[in-house]
Every structure is written in structure tokens, then in C-alpha cells.
Amino acid sequence: MKIDKNELVAKVREMKRNGFDYLVAITAVDYIKTVQALYFLRNLEDNKDEVLEIELPPDNPSLPTIIHLFKGANWYERELSEMFGIKIEGRNAKRLLLEKWDGKAAPLRKSFAWNAPYESSD
């Protein structure tokens, strides 16, 4: 189901009230001209799955946090931030998943320079 990023929190809250009580995963896909965030939710009682799709601009993508609705969103949102460069509004993760991350590079974006030399601080 395609939704706007401004609808995300309300839609997830509504789905949770309607039995979608398990956050399976959150990820993203870089299509160069757009970045798509994907939220996978499951209704365990009825054995139903739903995917929320959100199109984001590639130059400055951002999403609101849903950690207040699903605590398990913590790791997924951190991954979106560090690996895809998507700013998560409403939270400030102090610990990084990537040990030597500079906050600028997004390794899972197609624009990431894989052949650039890695500089170690060791």
C-alpha cells in the first residue's frame, strides 16, 4: 500500500489497532531518482501481511520515527539512517551501528563510492 510519509505514524497506529501487532522489518531501496522505504507489518492472529511503501526524494530523504509504536523499529530506523542516509525525525540515536561512520556516506545507496579508498584511523 503506497502512502505519503506524513501519513506514516497515523497509518501504522491504525494498523496496530486493527491487529497488525508485529513489525517484521523496515528497509529501503534506492532507485536513483527516488528512495523507497518499506514497512512490513503482520497480523499474527489472522496471518495477514501488509507492506507500506513510501517514496522519498533521493537528495534529502526523511521519515518520522515509529519507535513509540513499535520498540523493534529502533534497529531498523538506525539502519535506514546509517545505511541509506534517511534522516529519522523525532529521534537521536547516540550509538552508531557502524563503528567508523562519518555520517555522510550511505553504503546501500547507489551513489556510494565503493572503489574509493577506505581511510582507517588506526
In a domain, 103, yes or no: no
Domain containing residue 15: CATH number: 3.30.460.80
Strand (E) positions, the chain? 22-30, 35-43, 48-56, 62-64, 87-89
Q: Write out pLDDT tens, residues 14-35.
A: 999 999 999 999 999 999 899 9
| pLDDT at residue number 120 | 46
Query: Closest by alpha carbon to 97, among 73, 109, 79?
Result: 79
Q: Which domain holds residue 11?
A: 5-89
pLDDT digits (tens, 9 = 90+) for 83-111: 898 999 987 766 666 666 666 667 777 77
Q: Is there a domain that residue 94 lies in?
A: no
In a domain, residue 33? The reply is: yes
Say if residues 56 and 5 touch (Cβ distance below 8 Å). yes
Query: What is the enclosing helix (H) or strand (E) of 15?
Result: helix 8-17
> Who wins on pLDDT, 49 or 106?
49
Percentage of the chain beyond pLDDT 90 is 66
**Is 100 part of a structural domain of the chain?**
no
For the chain, the domain total comes to: 1
Give the pTM. Answer: 0.85
